[in-house]
């Protein structure tokens, strides 16, 4: 296995009466929160605003940092991937419309969250267990 660098990822918890906004790569069954990688030197909140505009075509206002999830996995090339996921609340204006061909967005009903394949799993567990309080989940290798 090759050595990995740690990737910084910022994601948004966006809720509505319809549920929690999640993203899915076309052809995949699992979902994840909207957001993405932070470029070196890029302010975290600016990265999230930009990613939301880039992915769903909506303007966003960023709220509170609600949690951090450390995650790791080995990809198809046998490279170890190590991530720090910073989770913020956010509000968007308008309906989300995918701006990227490989992604689709949907509203996950909150009562389906416990059984959804939301990744990383530690994030889903934190949201289900205690979404009202700040959380930290470490990488359990």
CATH code for position 67? 3.90.79.10
- Answer yes or no: is 1 within a domain: no
Burial class (CB in 10 A: 0-12, 13-18, 19+), 20: buried
Look at residue 1 in the predicted model and tell me its pLDDT. 45
| Residue span of the structural domain in which 58 resides | 6-137
Give the total number of structural domains in the chain.
Answer: 1
Report whether 54 contacts 29 (CB < 8 A): no
pTM of the model: 0.89
20 in any annotated domain: yes
Per-residue pLDDT of the chain (141 residues), as tens digits, is 455 678 999 999 999 988 999 999 999 999 999 999 999 999 999 999 999 999 999 999 999 999 999 998 888 888 888 999 999 999 999 889 999 999 999 999 999 999 999 999 999 999 988 656 787 777 876
């Amino acid at each position: 296995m090759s050595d990995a660098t740690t990737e910084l990822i910022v994601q948004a918890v966006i809720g509505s009466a319809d549920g929690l906004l999640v993203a899915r790569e076309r052809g995949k069954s699992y979902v994840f929160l909207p957001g993405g990688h932070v470029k070196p030197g890029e302010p975290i909140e600016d990265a999230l605003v930009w990613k939301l505009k880039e992915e769903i075509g909506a303007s966003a206002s960023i709220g509170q940092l609600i949690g951090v999830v450390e995650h790791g996995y080995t990809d198809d090339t046998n490279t170890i991937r190590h991530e720090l996921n910073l989770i913020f609340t956010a509000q968007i204006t308008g309906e989300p419309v995918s701006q990227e061909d490989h992604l689709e967005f949907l509203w996950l009903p909150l009562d389906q969250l416990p059984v959804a394949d939301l990744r990383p799993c530690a994030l889903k567990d934190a949201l289900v267990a205690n979404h009202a309080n700040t959380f930290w989940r470490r990488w359990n290798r």
